[in-house]
């Protein structure tokens, strides 16, 4: 269900006023037709797009603070000028991702393998609660143990605990160069073994992904070109079939993963958290059940399933339920946002009430499990 009313505040005060003006608000960034921006109830869409720009950036501090509606692409270019980057590989940057939407969606790209996902780089936020109060959670320094770590909690919360207005991230120096290597294998099981071994070797790889349809592992290294070559030579002694991937081809490949368009146009893309041990049987089971294009990222920590028809989602849900996995539809037409959604606990509802006593924001843990979504 969607509403036509769209509010576009351009300051934090206006954002608070906009929220207080409506009974039910869905806060969005770039307001793409994403399943995550839907609500099962009539609502006003409040876009933070007008709250954009970097507020504070000191390269030697390894942090920046920016308004939540700032496009990630803008931030990336500011950081890049000073040789820094967001190592968790933000997703959908070309598609227009904003910082707030990136946090709320909780999506991280292949680079999350090396230093951790978005939760490990998000330090603090100024946010507006359901009753209009403005709070400042976390901090603006790279290390802080004071108060509850609410920033971590907000990652993946889909805007259901408050509206983020300003956010602070940790950044790292951008490695000088990168090199990608590919390795064909016989099965997902073999891929899992090889990936797991590579993950604990001395090489300290930056990303380890697996493309299921072509049974290919992709290893990404980051560092000076010469050292990348030396490490690649050592890896070759371990995996005889290892092939270097041309830089331009590699760039296109990694970008297609980040933009979630590695597959032919798909109806729905589902994020399925997994592990190196679990993903082979998960991939094989999905393969047998429905036509799907599968990509495994973060050395097995997430399986992206691009499903050709929305009708297949029900079957996918059955497979996930059988294998005790959960899925989140992040793109395209889907009847339901969550697959194999666990039932809500009273604690989860109590915490949501703590943030939003009047129930202004959409409810992750509401009684209606399925909101209708469209793309």
Partner 1 sequence: MQQAIARLTQRLPPDRVRQDAAFNAAFESDGLTAFHQKPLAVVIPESTEEVIATVRWCHDEAIPFVARGSGTSLSGGSLPVADGIVIALNRLNKILDLDPVNRTAVVEPGVVNIKVTEAASKDGLYFAPDPSSQTVCTIGGNVAFNSGGAHCLKYGMTSNHVIGIKAVLGNGDVVGWGSPSTDAIGADFPGLFTGSEGLFGIATEITLRLLPKPETFHTVLVGYRSLQAAGDAVSAVIESGLLPGAMEIMDALSIEAAEAAVKCGYPKGCAAVLIVELEGPRERVEYETQQLADVIARTDPYAQHVATTLAERLSIWKGRKCVFSAVGHISPDFLVQDGVVPRNRLGEALVRIQEISRDVGIRVANVFHAGDGNLHPMILYDGNVPGEFDKAEEVCSRIIKVCIEMGGSITGEHGVGMEKREFLPDMFDPATVELFHRIRRAFDPLEIANRGKMFPGADAPSLSMSGLHPLEKAGVISRE
Ligand X SMILES: Cc1cc2nc3c(=O)[nH]c(=O)nc-3n(C[C@H](O)[C@H](O)[C@H](O)COP(=O)(O)OP(=O)(O)OC[C@H]3O[C@@H](n4cnc5c(N)ncnc54)[C@H](O)[C@@H]3O)c2cc1C
How many residues touch partner 1 under the rule CB under 8 A: the total is 86
Q: φ and ψ at 64, to 5 degrees? A: -140, 155
How, if at all, do strands 25-28 and 44-47 pair? parallel
Q: How near is the Cβ of 49 to ligand X at its closest, in Å? A: 8
In angstroms, the CA 257 to CA 261 distance is: 6
Q: Tell whether residue 370 is a contact of partner 1 (CB under 8 A).
A: no
Which window, 19-27, 193-201, 241-249, 253-261, contacts partner 1 (CB under 8 A)?
193-201
How, if at all, do strands 292-297 and 207-211 pair? antiparallel
Closest CA to 46 of 65, 61, 64, 68: 68
Q: Tell whether residue 58 is a contact of partner 1 (CB under 8 A).
A: yes
Which window, 12-20, 181-189, 287-295, 300-308, contacts partner 1 (CB under 8 A)?
300-308
Interacting residues with partner 1 between 271 and 290 (CB under 8 A): 271, 273-278
Q: Strand ranges (DSSP E) for the chain?
A: 6-7, 25-28, 44-47, 54-58, 63-67, 84-85, 122-128, 134-138, 163-170, 172-173, 177-184, 207-211, 216-223, 243-245, 268-273, 292-297, 302-307, 327-332, 338-339
Closest CA to 79 of 92, 97, 61, 95: 61
Nearer to ligand X, 164 or 245 (CB): 164
| Residue span 147-176 as binding mask against partner 1, x where in contact by CB under 8 A, dash where not | xxxx-xxxxxxx-xx----------xxx-x
Asked if 355 and 332 touch (Cβ cutoff 8 Å), the reply is no
| Residue span 141-180 as binding mask against ligand X, x where in contact by CB under 6 A, dash where not | -----------------xx---xx----------------
Classified as helix, coil or strand, 368 is: coil
Q: Tell whether residue 53 is a contact of partner 1 (CB under 8 A).
A: no
Interacting residues with ligand X between 75 and 114 (CB under 6 A): 92, 95-98, 100-102, 104-105, 107
Q: Tell whether residue 142 is a contact of partner 1 (CB under 8 A).
A: yes
Residues near ligand X (CB under 6 A): 26-37, 48, 68, 92, 95-98, 100-102, 104-105, 107, 158-159, 163-164, 330-331, 375
């Amino acid at each position: 269900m969607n509403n036509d009313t769209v509010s576009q505040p351009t300051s934090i005060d206006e954002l608070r006023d906009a929220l207080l003006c409506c009974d039910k608000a869905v806060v969005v960034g770039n307001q793409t037709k994403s399943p995550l921006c839907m609500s099962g109830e009539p609502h006003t869409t409040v876009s933070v797009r007008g709250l954009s720009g970097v507020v504070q950036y000191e390269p030697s501090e390894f942090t920046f603070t920016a308004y939540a509606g700032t496009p990630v692409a803008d931030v990336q270019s500011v950081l890049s000028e000073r040789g820094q980057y967001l190592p968790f590989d933000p997703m959908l940057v070309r598609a227009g991702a904003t910082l707030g939407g990136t946090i709320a969606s909780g999506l991280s790209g292949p680079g999350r393998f090396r230093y951790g996902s978005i939760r490990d780089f998000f330090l603090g936020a100024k946010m507006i609660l359901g009753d209009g109060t403005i709070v400042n959670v976390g901090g603006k320094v790279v290390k802080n143990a004071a108060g509850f770590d609410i920033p971590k909690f907000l990652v993946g919360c889909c805007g259901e605990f408050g509206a983020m207005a300003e956010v602070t991230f940790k950044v790292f120096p951008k490695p000088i160069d990168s090199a990608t290597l590919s390795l064909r294998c016989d099965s997902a099981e073999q891929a899992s073994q090889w990936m797991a071994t590579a993950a604990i070797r001395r090489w300290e790889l930056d990303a380890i992904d697996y493309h299921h349809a072509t049974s290919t592992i992709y290893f990404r290294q980051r560092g000076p070109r010469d050292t990348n070559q030396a490490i690649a030579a050592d890896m070759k002694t371990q995996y005889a079939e290892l092939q270097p991937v041309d830089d331009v081809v590699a760039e296109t490949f990694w970008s297609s993963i980040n933009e979630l368009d590695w597959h032919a146009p798909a109806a729905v893309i589902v994020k399925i958290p997994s592990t190196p041990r679990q993903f082979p049987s998960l991939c094989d089971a999905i393969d047998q059940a429905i036509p799907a294009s599968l990509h495994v990222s973060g050395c097995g920590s997430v399986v992206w399933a691009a499903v050709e028809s929305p009708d297949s989602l029900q079957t996918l849900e059955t497979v996930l339920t059988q294998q005790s996995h959960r899925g989140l539809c992040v793109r395209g037409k889907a009847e339901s946002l969550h697959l194999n959604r666990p039932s809500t606990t009273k604690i989860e509802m109590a915490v949501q009430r703590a943030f939003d006593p009047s129930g202004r924001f959409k409810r992750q843990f509401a009684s209606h499990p399925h909101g209708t979504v469209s793309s």
